[in-house]
Structure 1
Amino acid sequence: MSSTSVLRVRDLHKSFAGIVAANNINVDVADGEVVGIIGANGAGKTVFVNMVTGYLKPTNGLIEFAGRDITGIKPRVATNMGVCRSFQISQVFMTMTVLENLLIAVSLANQEKRSLLSPLLSDDRIDECEQIMSRYNLTEHRDKVASTLSQGVRKLLDIAMAVVSNPKLLLLDEPTSGVSSDEKFGLMDLVVNALKEQGTAVLFVEHDMEIVQRYVDRILAFYQGEIICDATPDVALQDPKVIEYVLGEGHGPVAGTVQALETGRA
């Protein structure tokens, strides 16, 4: 494996009762790289993400993170090692404030260093949360209850909670899903810039081609459990297989892709 690779996947396969959900997946992700994952419903995107993060055990194959075999690892162990994820539906505590949510996330991330029973409101933990809020533009929302936040701000909070431990690899499931068109670019600007500063590699499932084109270094296009294209956005979005199997018939390269993928989320 290259010394600059954070993720190495070889011959990954997953089947359920004879039904193949992932087949012969081979991927390398470099340190700090941003990779977009696209494909229609059932294409295998979420299965792949779940295997990398430990939510599904592969039937066969190898997953290496930073040179270590993590095939079949438990999600909590993966998180502790530096493989984190954020889900399509925000995993925040809706009745708690932004600060309280982050305090819990910081406490969980540091449970090996400090006891979970130690006070949440210690000066060190509050200072750490203040820095995170500043990085993700959440300071003005510090004392607001999560249920009162806009979907975009709630997504920012969810992602900020997922990266409190400064992971080397973050997997995002449709980070702009449910976010208004007015908020989505601002959200992604904040997230991508913050993660680049941390040197975090990112893989994100996304249906919005405006987002994919603007923020990713590479695209992995999935179809029937296999990667049919692994290339830069300008190449991938003009690939005949991607146009036929992912973007949909009648759509030329790039044009019209947002509407085509909105009905194909996985």
Structure 2
Amino acid sequence: MTQTPILTTEGLEKRFGGVVAARDISVALHAGETVAVIGSNGAGKTTFVNMVTGYLKPSAGKISFRGRDITGMSPRDTARAGIRRSFQISQTFPELTALENAMIAEIAALETKGSLSSHAITDARMHAARGVLARFGLEKFADTRVATLPQGVKKQLDIAMAAVDDPAVILLDEPTSGVSVDEKISMMESVITPLMNGEGTVLFIEHDMDIVSRFASRTIAFYEGTILADGPTEEVLRNDEVRKYVIGGTAHA
């Protein structure tokens, strides 16, 4: 019996005037998958993520989540539906502590579910926020101001905040960008492991093929705004066109 996809895109396209940033993007993601998206700068990777999460309205095509048409839905409504994301540049509050940031994410999750009240800041929510930090190995930074944290830790915190309330789909935009080579593997392990322990689907944009090989069971390669290859990671990374047009241009990005 074939598993029903949790998220699908059909013929997705995005035009900016006369420039086509993405075209004919048809993807089916299943629950529990960990998928890497690769491609050189300008290949359409982030445009795709922005359309799925509501930050860009598609020029054509359809996006379905759990069988529901969510094409053109706002970022707030996609988050409410169960699709979350992190950004290439961490979206945290630098003057607050890591715990305070996690607390804000907890309250925002209540708001997306329509259950935010004047009693949102409670001992229970504080306990939940500490639990989020612990899940991602960040508890030792709970009382540290975010502005003083290393870049890799800021990235972890940003992803931990996006993962509050266990979204069905989480999309990570270049989670290791700005992180030193020595820290990339450990940083990704601390992020992907807790996400994979849930039942959610993880899709991450990545330029480092070592990270892709290690953490993604499936890889989607973008080239000039469309999908060049989609399949098991080892097969995609061996694909002649992917090696010619994608890996050669992104190995050191």
| Fold agreement, TM-score > 0.5 | yes
Say whether the 8 Å CA contact 1:82–1:165 is kept in structure 2.
no
Residue 64 of structure 1 is matched in structure 2 by: 64
Residue 37 of structure 2 is matched in structure 1 by: 37
Rounded to whole Å, the distance in 2 between the matches of 1:101 and 1:118 is 18
Rounded to whole Å, the distance in 2 between the matches of 1:192 and 1:52 is 21
TM-score, structure 1 as length reference: 0.90
Partner deviation per Cα, 1:2-21 (whole Å, 9 max, x = no partner)? 64421111111111112211
Report SS of the residue matched to 1:237. helix
Say whether the 8 Å CA contact 1:210–1:258 is kept in structure 2.
no
Unaligned runs of 5+ in 1: 250-256
CA offset at residue 222 of structure 1? Answer: 0.6
Cα 1:89/1:23, change in 2 over 3 Å: same
Residue 167 of structure 2 is matched in structure 1 by: 167
Seq. identity, %: 48
Residue 118 of structure 1 is matched in structure 2 by: 119
**Amino acid in structure 1 at the alignment position of 2:80:** N
Partner deviation per Cα, 1:180-235 (whole Å, 9 max, x = no partner)? 22321112112111111221101111111110010001111111111010021211
RMSD: 1.3
- What is the number of equivalent residue pairs in this alignment? 250
Say whether the 8 Å CA contact 1:35–1:220 is kept in structure 2.
yes
**Amino acid in structure 1 at the alignment position of 2:116:** R
Report SS of the residue matched to 1:5. coil
Residue 186 of structure 2 is matched in structure 1 by: 186
Rounded to whole Å, the distance in 2 between the matches of 1:239 and 1:3 is 26
Partner deviation per Cα, 1:96-153 (whole Å, 9 max, x = no partner)? 00110011111111021122x4353x11111101211111111111100001111111
- Kindly report structure 1 stretches of 4+ aligned residues shifted beyond 2 Å: 117-120
TM-score, structure 2 as length reference: 0.95
**1:131 aligns to 2:119 (yes or no):** no
Residue 240 of structure 2 is matched in structure 1 by: 240
Say whether the 8 Å CA contact 2:102–2:130 is kept in structure 1.
no
Deviates more, 1:195-204 or 1:88-97: 195-204
Rounded to whole Å, the distance in 2 between the matches of 1:41 and 1:196 is 27
Partner deviation per Cα, 1:22-75 (whole Å, 9 max, x = no partner)? 111111111010111111111111111110000111111111111111111100
